[in-house]
Amino acid sequence: MARDYWVESLPSGHQRFVKASLRRSHSNPHDASSQSSRGRRVDFLDVTREEYNLLLARDKDLSRDNEALRRENHALKANWRTCSDDLRRLQARLPSLETMVRNLEHENHELRSSFDHHHHHHRTSSYGEDAMRRLRNKNTKLMNENDSLLARVRSLERNMRDEVGNGTRKFMDEIAAWRRRYDKLSYTVHGLQNDLAVATDRNRRLEEACELRARNERKAMRDVDRYKATLRQHGLR
């Protein structure tokens, strides 16, 4: 702004600021040659030095604010890219989690079949116990994965709320979709936990029934032995 205006002294002793491109070519205000063209437009600004200094200060403040906004915009773009990369990584992990859930459902189905078979063949109890241990381990691992996923989604939500803009609204929608997927997955995990509890209770009852049957068989064998001994004592056998 300082290079665009010059200070010009008037005959009255006052000063004014005149644009450099329209500054008069000589300094004599009484020269007739300078007054010959009445139609020529002279663009000048009647302000005091104090007002001019205020304008300069305002111009500097605006430049500084503009630079701060530029840096902030750059930082927001960088964070936007980071959030986008994080969402893509989370989205890439979703198929593996869904596959894990399907595998758990398959193993749970096999475990149910093995429990039904165990009712008739007690020899398969060890396989059922191994399958239950595998199911517990898988369930624990899946719950840990869910906790990590939920923590990451909540972290992304906090970042988005701090930097709400036109670009972030799209990611908020994606986060909502992720939350719905998480809720669905949590519902599946809850169902598996219930199935595991039912299977554990059934296995416990089967083991108790088998143990009771074994005790009854041992008691019956002892009764038979006593009966045979009685017969031998009386010479009946």
- Asked whether residue 60 is assigned to any structural domain, the reply reads no
In-domain check, residue 50: no
Q: Summarize the confidence of residues 97-110 as an average pLDDT.
A: 75
**pLDDT tens-place string over residues 142-156:** 778 777 877 777 777
Assess contact for 27 and 41: CB atoms under 8 A: no
Q: Which residue has the higher pLDDT, 12 or 173?
A: 173
Burial per residue of 83-106, b for 16 or more beta-carbon CB atoms within 10 angstroms, e otherwise: beebbeebeeeeeebeeebeebee
Q: Which two tokens stand for residue 158?
A: 């906090």
Are 27 and 35 spatial neighbours (Cβ–Cβ below 8 Å)? Answer: no
According to the model, what pLDDT value does residue 40 have?
Answer: 43
Both structure tokens of 34: 């300078």
Residue 28 lies inside a defined structural domain of this protein: no
CA angle 189, 195, 198 (to 5 degrees): 145
110 located within any domain: yes
Q: Which of 115-119, 198-202, 215-219 has the highest mean pLDDT?
A: 215-219
48-78, pLDDT tens digit by residue? 778 777 878 888 888 888 888 889 888 888 8
Question: Average pLDDT for residues 97-113, to the nearest whole number?
Answer: 74
Rounded average pLDDT over 190-210: 83
Note the pLDDT tens digit of each residue in 168-182: 667 777 777 777 877
| Exposed / middle / buried, residue 129 (Cβ in 10 Å: 0-12, 13-18, 19+) | middle
pLDDT at 28 over 70: no
Say which residues have a Cβ less than 8 Å from residue 12's Cβ, sequence separation at least 6: none
Task: Specify the pairing of strand 5-9 against strand 15-19.
Answer: antiparallel
Q: Are 43 and 24 in contact (CB under 8 A)?
A: no
Dump pLDDT digits (tens) for 38-49.
Answer: 444 445 555 677
Please indicate, yes or no, if residue 26 is contained in any of the structural domains: no
In a domain, 175, yes or no: yes
Average pLDDT, the chain: 72
The model's confidence at residue 94, banded by pLDDT at 50, 70 and 90, is: confident
Comparing 198 with 44, the larger pLDDT belongs to: 198
Residue 117 lies in a domain: yes
Query: Rounded CA gap, 180 and 96, in Å?
Result: 17
In a domain, 99, yes or no: yes
Q: Tell me, what's the pLDDT at 121?
A: 53
Bigger pLDDT: 32 vs 197: 197
User: C-alpha dihedral over 179, 183, 188, 190, to 10 degrees?
Assistant: 130
What is the rounded distance in angstroms from the CA atom of residue 208 to the CA atom of residue 202? Answer: 10
Show the domain range for 98: 84-216
How many folded domains does the chain comprise?
A: 1
Confidence of residue 196 (pLDDT cuts 50, 70, 90): confident
